[in-house]
Structure 1
Amino acid sequence: MKDMGHGFTLVDRSIYLYDSEKFTRLKKTIDYDSFEMIKAFEDKNFYFRDKNRVYVTSYMCNASVIEGAKPESFKVINAEDGIGYDGNNYYWYDTCLPYDYSKAVKYNEYYVRAGDKVYFLTSIVEGADANTFNIIWQNVARDSKSLFFKGIIVPEVDVETFKTVPGCFDADHLNQSHTYYAADRNNVYFINTIGKAIKRLAGVKPSNFSVKIVDNRLYGISGKDVYFFGIKKKGLVLG
């Protein structure tokens, strides 16, 4: 048995994190005689290499080969953010970045600027103006013409008047880290930053919409209608 550090052990041709076997899908790929840990960040990100390849296992990705990375020159630049470099390319976890990370400027943990282009994680944000691009909240951003959610333009939003509905963050509530309501001059929207899309509340007028936090839950109110998670709740009356 070989202790590899941070709870990892190598037993014969099997790799364990404590009592759980890892890298099972890569058993026929790994060169066990040269397999070693490069670096780790807490219990979240772990980098390894053998004489042929570089590997990563993380809360962001399953145990994977970092395709194209050179094991002899690979270094972990930022273990917390999952950034590696092999002298030629930068990598975000198991994905080769399409830009020079050393020259990029981070807007936040999701968006970066490289030259005159904006990227969401590893993908270019089509149509984004880097000179006017700014973050609204987490993976929601805008430039002078468009609103972006997870790097994709949200159509038919009046970006000049788009803003968070007052009261969404006035008190603690469940899912506060990723849910809120927003509005422009024409529509009201429910935003769940871990969801698939921004939801427009059909027929709801911004001038008649407000929010209320009750029992640690965020509700939207439009006249007599009550919304929870962007869904109208029939018969629900808030105290």
Structure 2
Amino acid sequence: MKDLGHGFSLAEKNIYHYDSKTFTNLRKIIDYKSFELIDNYRDKTFYFKDKEHVYVSSYMCTPSVIEWADPAHFKIINGEEGIGFDGNNYYWYDKTLPYDYSNAQKYNEYYLREGNGVFFLIQPVEGADAESFSIIWQNIGRDKNNLFFKGVKEDVDVNSFKMVPGCFDTFHLDQSHTYYASDDSNVYFVNTLGKSLKKLNGVKPEEFSVKVIDERLYGICGNNFYFFGVRKKGVL
């Protein structure tokens, strides 16, 4: 058995992380004779190479081969952010970055600018104006014309879009990723872990308010209340 370090080992063309087999999906690709650990970031991300490929195992991706990465020149640029470089391309975990990381400017942990382009993680934000782009909250951004949720344009009035008062006045259990917002015409439930903003159909902004009860955030409109953007009958 060959000790690779940090709990990884190699035995008879099997790679183990402690007692569990790993990289099993890449058995036909890995050259076991030259397979070795390159570097790691804490106990979260581990990089390996053989004579032909570079590999990564991380909490951010399953054990994967980093396509096109050159094992002879690959090195870790920023372990915390999962950035590697081989002299030609920059990589984010197992993905090739579509921009020059060395020239990128961060808006926050999700959005960045490189030249005149805006990117959400590794995806171009289509139609975004880099000069006027700014962050509303976490993975929600805007420019002078549009609002973007996870890098995708949303059909809202960006100039009147705002948080419903009271969403963070009192602690609630999901305040790290949820709140209610409105523009001039509609009310939205915002869940940064979701796929998009959720419009509350038929709800007028001037008739909507929020309330925190037992550390849970509720929206209120007339005789209905909303929990996680879903309408419930009755009065709180």
TM-score by length of 1: 0.95
> 1:60-109 CA distances to partner (integer Å, 9 max, x unpaired)?
11111100000000001111111000000001111111110000001112
In structure 1, what is the equivalent of residue 167 of structure 2? Answer: 168
CA shift, 1:3, in A, is 2.0
In structure 2, what is the equivalent of residue 158 of structure 1? Answer: 157
The SS at the match of 2:189 is strand
CA shift, 1:58, in A, is 1.2
Structure 1 residue ranges, 4+ long, deviating more than 4 angstroms after superposition: none
Task: Name the aligned partner's letter for residue 214 of structure 1.
Answer: I
In structure 1, what is the equivalent of residue 3 of structure 2? Answer: 3
Partners of 1:167 and 1:7 lie apart in 2 by 48
In structure 2, what is the equivalent of residue 231 of structure 1? Answer: 230
Partners of 1:13 and 1:149 lie apart in 2 by 44
Task: Answer yes or no: is 1:222 the counterpart of 2:228.
Answer: no
In structure 1, what is the equivalent of residue 29 of structure 2? Answer: 29
Unaligned runs of 5+ in 1: none
Partners of 2:211 and 2:186 lie apart in 1 by 18
Task: Name the aligned partner's letter for residue 96 of structure 2.
Answer: C
The SS at the match of 2:76 is strand
Task: Answer yes or no: is 1:107 the counterpart of 2:99.
Answer: no
Partners of 2:134 and 2:144 lie apart in 1 by 9
Alignment of 1:82-97 (within 5 A): 82-97=82-97
Alignment of 1:184-199 (within 5 A): 184-199=183-198
Partners of 2:224 and 2:121 lie apart in 1 by 38
Alignment of 1:67-146 (within 5 A): 67-146=67-146
> 1:138-194 CA distances to partner (integer Å, 9 max, x unpaired)?
111100110001111001x11111111122222332222211111111111001111
Report if aligned partners of 2:111, 2:119 keep a CA contact under 8 Å in 1: yes
CA shift, 1:54, in A, is 0.3
Report if aligned partners of 2:223, 2:233 keep a CA contact under 8 Å in 1: no
Task: Name the aligned partner's letter for residue 172 of structure 2.
Answer: H
> 1:111-152 CA distances to partner (integer Å, 9 max, x unpaired)?
110001101111111110000101111111100110001111
Partners of 2:138 and 2:21 lie apart in 1 by 34
Report if aligned partners of 2:37, 2:47 keep a CA contact under 8 Å in 1: yes
Partners of 1:133 and 1:175 lie apart in 2 by 27
In structure 2, what is the equivalent of residue 14 of structure 1? Answer: 14
- Taking every aligned residue pair, what percent have the same amino acid on both sides? 65
Q: Once superposed, what is the RMSD of the aligned Cα atoms? A: 1.1
Unaligned runs of 5+ in 2: none
Count of matched residue positions in the alignment of Structure 1 and Structure 2: 236
